[in-house]
Amino acid sequence: MSYMAALQNQVLDAGGFPPTPETPPDPWDEQLFTLKDAFKPRKPLQYIIAGLFPESSLNLAFGAPGTFKSMVLGQAAICVSGGLSFLGRKVLPSPAMWIDLDNGKRRTHERFEALGRGVGVDESIPFYYLSMPNPWFNAGTSRDIDELTEMINQRVIKFIVIDNLGLICPDTDENSDQMILVMSNLRLLAELTGAAVVLIHHQRKSIGNNSRTGESLRGHSSIEAALDLPLLVEREEGTPIITFRSTKTRDVDVPPFGAEFRHDHKPGSDELKSALFVPLVVEDHSSPAAIERTIQAIVDEGRKLNQSELVNKAKSVLTASEKLIRNTIEKMIREKGIRTIKGPHNSKLHVPY
């Protein structure tokens, strides 16, 4: 008798072959959607800060050192938790949280005391902060994301600022594609909590003159790709004035806006007593809306310009790149904002529609 036949007889003598194990259910089966789900009514998208940070979003503010990034976003967090407008923008009153991995406990306590006094809230508002937490938060690990998610959901926090991105991925080279996992985990944090997550990050020291503004964001391209809204924060040297410029949007365009920093000190001390950013109007020479307005105004003047002439005239007014201006002209032609007619030597001249 062969070995296999003997083995089969032994199995039969023992009561037969065991049943074939069932294939475990696919966990994705219960998560599949169809168009029926897409067509169901949904509640309107809510903004935690109007026009800037919607719920379940991943955002980032970046800039050079000394541009008041942390201070102004600290005021944003306090305004959200206190139900106060932020730089003239309405907020959805919600608990807010700050995670400091950069400034240390003493400075963080001082800043939030000054900001709280500056906007006029009391200590009872649902504002929470961590400073230099132990163990350290590592956004590259699922465990840390899960634990932070639980903490946020227990307190129904809807606005979270993390200062800063470079310090929450200690095992990761921020200039490599390893950042894909970090940014995916942070996106998951926003989805699982329904919160607007805002990261603070740094700017590259220099970029080429023909580079897109968003390319000044330090680190791998996957960082910008993962974001709903990156905001470049700039400060006019030697002044208390800062400006915010969107380098990309997934929802509505964000025109440039500004703020002025006002503060005073405790008597006989360099320690802040109160601090406040007040809104300032900023001339818009770079947003998509500003580019369209400028091109339309030039064409409406009645001069019949070819594309190079139109681009050069627009560049004299705007701070946008030539490529962006040309792309906007083509978009306006497609959308029938302006049109072209035949000119000398088969050139195309731009005129009002």
The per-residue pLDDT for range 159-196, each reduced to its tens digit, is: 999 999 999 999 899 999 999 999 999 999 999 999 99
Task: Tell me the residue ranges of DSSP E strands in 119-195.
Answer: 127-131, 159-163
Rounded to an integer, what distance in angstroms lies between the CA atom of residue 18 and that of residue 11? 9
Supply the pLDDT for residue 92.
98
Supply the pLDDT for residue 27.
86
DSSP letters along 230-284, please?
EEEEEE-TTSSEEEEEES--SSS----EEEEEEEEE-TTSSSEEEEEEEEE----
Rounded to an integer, what distance in angstroms lies between the CA atom of residue 315 and that of residue 339? 20
Supply the pLDDT for residue 191.
97
DSSP letters along 296-314, please?
HHHHHT---B-HHHHHHHH
The pairing of beta strand 257-265 with beta strand 241-246: antiparallel
First-to-final CA distance of the chain: 93
Whether the Cβ atoms of residue 80 and residue 48 lie closer than 8 Å to each other: yes
Burial class (CB in 10 A: 0-12, 13-18, 19+), 69: buried
Supply the pLDDT for residue 116.
98
Phi-psi region of 83 (alpha: psi -120 to 50; beta: other; left: phi over 0): left
Instruction: List domains and CATH numbers for the chain.
Output: 47-280 (3.40.50.300), 288-352 (1.10.10.10)
Supply the pLDDT for residue 302.
86
Residue bearing tokens 């601090």: 275
The per-residue pLDDT for range 17-76, each reduced to its tens digit, is: 566 667 788 888 889 999 999 999 999 999 999 999 999 999 999 999 999 999 999 999
One-letter amino acid at 85 equals S
Supply the pLDDT for residue 3.
56
pLDDT digit of tens for each residue in the chain (353 aa)?
555 565 556 655 555 556 666 778 888 888 999 999 999 999 999 999 999 999 999 999 999 999 999 999 999 999 999 999 999 999 999 999 999 999 999 999 999 999 999 999 999 999 999 999 999 999 999 999 999 999 999 999 999 999 999 999 998 999 999 999 999 999 999 999 999 999 999 987 755 444 556 578 989 999 999 999 999 999 988 899 999 999 887 877 888 999 999 999 999 999 999 999 999 988 888 778 889 999 999 999 988 999 999 999 999 989 888 998 999 999 999 988 899 999 888 888 998 98
Helix (H), strand (E) at residue 54: strand 53-54
